[in-house]
Structure 1
Amino acid sequence: MTRKIQMVFIISTFIALLMGCGATGEANSSNSQENGNDLEAVEKNEEEYGVVEIENEDRTLVFTEVPQRAVTLNQHVTEVFLALGLEEYLVGTAYLDDEVLPEFKDTYEKIPVLSDQYPSQEVFLEEEPDFAYAGWTSAFNEDNIGTVEQLEKFGVNAYLHESSSIIGPGIEDIYQDIRNISEIFNVVERGEKLINEMKTELVNIEETIPKDEETVRVFVFDSGDTAPFTSGQNFLNSIIMMAGATNIFNDIDSNWGEVSWEEVVERDPEVIVIVDYGETTAEDKRKQLLNHPALTDVTAIKEEHFIIMPLSVAAEGVRVPSALDILVDGLYE
């Protein structure tokens, strides 16, 4: 190789190396920019979440980030959680009253069931949860997963579905629970979409209610042998009114209460709503009422006019339209 050719080769190699370094630099610059954008996106999401404060049962729950390990307790709140598309955060669930809604079945089956009813505190804490969402106050006591104060010491924010615990809840209270959970998990738009869908369904059902019918007297039978346990000011009372009927025990000052069979006879219901749950079947309850000697002259008994309402529908969750639909069908059949 001549000296001239060697010189050309060296210069060409040097230029190629410079170009390669330039390309590498551009690639590194591009990668740095992408990583920077990703970091900015994360920081932006964190900034968007900020500090979320939720008033719940005379307590203020404070969140600085979305909870990552949630456990739902009671079917109606589990269904709220799934309806909001939050299954990725669920590390456990408990206390199903009956079959979960068909549209949630596949998703639900992938979530660990911690207990048929309430899990013990030990079982609950094994999942290392940072958020507990209960439908009924009974979940948060020492015999079950623990009080809210105890759970706070374990780093668990405990949210109680308020529409299931306040006296005289209305539909708006259920919507507020949905909004609260939506805000905690940073899915506000999903929450509003769900609420609007429920509102639309309710309006469509209300349009089918006869306008000129006389108000029907309704007795809600939950359970009880020597004395019936019935609905007072709870959600069913609101739904019964929405359906154009009257709950005969709407003067009870609590959501649920025990009354006497004599009072039932005196108020003479025309329709009996049987709440279906637990080991005693709805048919067993129906037979109990039909065979009760004190109820022989009650209109609903003579006409055998019963409406079966699953507890999963009677609770304050996403099945509000189903509850109204069942009542309207049963009242005006």
Structure 2
Amino acid sequence: MPTYIRPAVFALATALALTGCGAEVSGPADAKNTARRADSHYPVTVENCGEKKTYDKAPQRVVTNDVGITEIMFALGLEDHMAGYVMPDDKGDLSAVPWKDAYQKTEWLSKDRINKELVLDAGADLVFAGWNYGFSEGEGFTPAELSRVGVDSYLLSESCRNGQGKARGVMSPLDALYTDLANLGKVFDVEDRAEALTESFRKQIAEAQAKAPKGKDRPRVFLYDDGKDKPLTSGAYAGPHDIITKAGGDHIMKDLEDSWTTVGWETVVDRDPEVIVINNYGDTTADQKRKFLMSYKPLANVSAIRNNRIVVLDYVDLVESPRNPAAVSSLAGELRNLGS
């Protein structure tokens, strides 16, 4: 049977407690001081996917697309600045996460694709999404199109295009997470929260790394998202790369200068992964993906298949999100156990 990994929500809750995500309650006597501080904070300028953007005030009606992006806002305690979120209902159990209250408080605008009409109907002043995380020329939904109707955009840093066609990735995946936390902390005037959250994440990952396999004990790891003719996997700039490597694995597709991309099965066979991590989401269940991998004849002699070393992580653990550090900890434990 496959090993199902569920990153510890208690570790996440601890990290959130360090941030003071529950904003301090200010009484009437503090109102003028708060307003004065806000006036002195703005305007602020941040760099997002190579573009400098200036904000004269904090956006008040943000629409987010997808679960990881939404939870970045929640982790920073910014649900009061949101008009709502868009995501399918295949992203796991949302009732057991540290942001349960934020999910209940914030409107789930659609379980379908995000689009301009939905954004306008929500009265959004900013859309937080990314290339292939909502934004797409093919769908006619782009930052440029939103700008034409007076709505600003912030791009998920994991999704930044690097100038090589539509390839994505300009920094390591965890650096992308830290960059977005820092930028949004500045944009929404919650820099202390962002810094505390990042510090707690770095500490959590360092603790996992200290116990992770090292040197010749590092197993070769392949990330399987989906696909039968060609597997969709992670290159060097998608979340699984850092999660695998920080957890003590050797990511076999680390030479792919892209984020989520397809490869040939022959490449997987040649690189002979010792562990396969399944991305759990969508209409095809993790168990169905596992059964396919175990029965696919070209993979029969791959070490991970021969030794039945398959583990599962949820989608939100693997895309850029505040669940990434807990995923590192959980996968590090799994890799240690597989090696024992």
TM-score bucket of the superposed structures, by smaller chain: 0.7 to 0.9
CA–CA distance in structure 2, aligned partners of residues 39 and 222 of structure 1:
49
TM-score, normalised by the number of residues in structure 2:
0.81
- State the 1:196 CA deviation: 1.3
The answer as to whether partners of 1:164 and 1:315 remain within 8 angstroms in 2 is no
1:99 counterpart = 2:93: yes
Give unpaired runs (5+ residues) of structure 2.
Answer: 1-27, 161-168
- State the 1:155 CA deviation: 2.2
1:53 counterpart = 2:33: no
Counterparts of residues 278-293 of structure 1 (less than 5 Å): 278-293=282-297
User: Helix, strand or coil: the match of 2:257?
Assistant: coil
1:215 to 194, 197, 218: 218
Q: Tell me what 2:268 maps to.
A: 264
Q: CA offsets per residue over residues 271-317 of structure 1, 9 Å max, x none? A: 11111110000100000010001111111111110010111000111
> Aligned partner of 2:179: which letter?
Q
Q: Tell me what 1:276 maps to.
A: 280
1:141 counterpart = 2:136: yes
Shift in alpha-carbon separation, 1:45–1:328, aligned structure 2, 3 A: same
1:132 counterpart = 2:127: yes
1:252 to 249, 256, 272: 256
1:323 to 317, 322, 327: 327
Q: CA offsets per residue over residues 190-249 of structure 1, 9 Å max, x none? A: 111111111221122222224465221111111111111221112211222222221112
User: Helix, strand or coil: the match of 2:250?
Assistant: strand
> Aligned partner of 1:99: which letter?
D
Q: Tell me what 2:233 maps to.
A: 230
User: Helix, strand or coil: the match of 2:217?
Assistant: coil
- State the 1:136 CA deviation: 4.2
User: Helix, strand or coil: the match of 1:114?
Assistant: strand
How many corresponding residue pairs? 298
> Aligned partner of 1:296: which letter?
A
> Aligned partner of 2:143: which letter?
V
Range that drifts further, 209-218 or 46-55: 209-218
Q: CA offsets per residue over residues 70-98 of structure 1, 9 Å max, x none? A: 11111111111111111111111011522
CA–CA distance in structure 2, aligned partners of residues 40 and 185 of structure 1:
18
Q: Tell me what 1:183 maps to.
A: 186
CA–CA distance in structure 2, aligned partners of residues 107 and 150 of structure 1:
29
CA–CA distance in structure 2, aligned partners of residues 188 and 244 of structure 1:
31
Give unpaired runs (5+ residues) of structure 1.
Answer: 1-34
Q: CA offsets per residue over residues 6-45 of structure 1, 9 Å max, x none? A: xxxxxxxxxxxxxxxxxxxxxxxxxxxxx9x888546523
> Aligned partner of 2:288: which letter?
D
Q: Tell me what 1:202 maps to.
A: 205
2:82 to 82, 90, 94: 90
RMSD over aligned Cα atoms: 2.2
User: Helix, strand or coil: the match of 2:204?
Assistant: helix
Q: Tell me what 1:8 maps to.
A: none
Q: Tell me what 1:27 maps to.
A: none
User: Helix, strand or coil: the match of 1:85?
Assistant: coil
CA–CA distance in structure 1, aligned partners of residues 268 and 141 of structure 2:
38
Task: From the CA coordinates, give the structure whose radius of gyration is larger.
Answer: 1
Range that drifts further, 215-224 or 53-62: 53-62
Shift in alpha-carbon separation, 1:80–1:229, aligned structure 2, 3 A: same
- State the 1:140 CA deviation: 2.3
CA–CA distance in structure 2, aligned partners of residues 231 and 53 of structure 1:
31
Shift in alpha-carbon separation, 1:143–1:228, aligned structure 2, 3 A: closer
Shift in alpha-carbon separation, 1:134–1:294, aligned structure 2, 3 A: same
User: Helix, strand or coil: the match of 2:99?
Assistant: helix
Shift in alpha-carbon separation, 1:154–1:49, aligned structure 2, 3 A: farther
The answer as to whether partners of 2:61 and 2:83 remain within 8 angstroms in 1 is yes
Q: Tell me what 2:19 maps to.
A: none
The answer as to whether partners of 1:78 and 1:93 remain within 8 angstroms in 2 is yes
- State the 1:119 CA deviation: 2.6
Q: Relative to total residues, which structure has the larger helix share, 1 or 2?
A: 1
> Aligned partner of 2:158: which letter?
S
Shift in alpha-carbon separation, 1:278–1:183, aligned structure 2, 3 A: same
CA–CA distance in structure 2, aligned partners of residues 242 and 151 of structure 1:
37
The answer as to whether partners of 2:66 and 2:133 remain within 8 angstroms in 1 is no
CA–CA distance in structure 2, aligned partners of residues 126 and 211 of structure 1:
52
